[in-house]
Structure formats: structure tokens, C-alpha cells
A = this chain, B = another copy of it.
Amino acid sequence: MPCIQTKVNVKISEEKEEVIKSKLGKAIELIPGKSESWLMVSFEDECKLYFKGSKDDKIAFVEVKIFGKASDKAYDDLTAAITDILHEELDISPLNIYVKYEEVDHWGWNGSNF
């Protein structure tokens, strides 16, 4: 029951989206117990984003939402992996990438909560 929501101010082609989606599906395994088989992923491209008051650079804001909790180490590893993916695939500088985590207590699927 994880979800990764990616907002960027650049265009993501369909091909790139598939590649990034697959890489995120692998990266989520850095959180113990999580895998692509429960992962929901969303992309919003060409967003109106500003960082440090400017929109001139490529920017990404990523929100990772997971049911339950994980260790600091797991979050660190996932931040490194997500940052690498967006840097490699979309040429966004790690200096302009935020990865934010939310630990969720109540999460429903198939009509009832876990």
C-alpha cells in the first residue's frame, strides 16, 4: 500500500513515463515489505512549480505515501534511488528535487481498510 506521486515542471514523454514507472516499481522494494505489486504511481508533468522563488530550472516534487512506517535508513535509500531516477531520466538536478514522506495509519483497498 504505497503510493508515489511525482510532479515535475518538464514534459514527460509516454516512453519516459513507462521507464520511470518501472524504475519506481523496483525502487519501492527498498522499503521492507513493499513492492510494485501494491504500488500506485501518479505523474503530473508540466506543473507550475517554483523552487527558491524561480521556475527557470527543472524541478521535481515527489510524495511517497506508505501504509505503516519504515526506518530512517529505508527512507534514505529510497530518496537516493528516486533522486537518481529523476536525474537520469529527466535530467533534473538533485539540487532541485524534494522527496517527502507520509506515514499513513488508515488506508483502504477493495472496500475496506488494512
Q: Which residues of A contact B (CB under 8 A)?
A: 1, 3, 7, 17, 21-22, 25, 36-45, 47-53, 59, 61, 65, 72, 75-76, 79-80, 82-84, 94-95, 97-113
Contacts and interface: CB of A to CB of B under 8 A. Distances in A.
A43 B52 contact: no
A42 B7 contact: yes
A47 B103 CA distance: 23
A102 B48 CA distance: 21
- Copy number in the complex reads 3
Given A98-B109, A101-B105, A109-B97, A59 B83 contact: no
A48 B42 contact: yes
A64 to B, nearest CB: 9
Contact of A49 (B40, B47, B53, B112): B40
Contacts of A44: 47-48
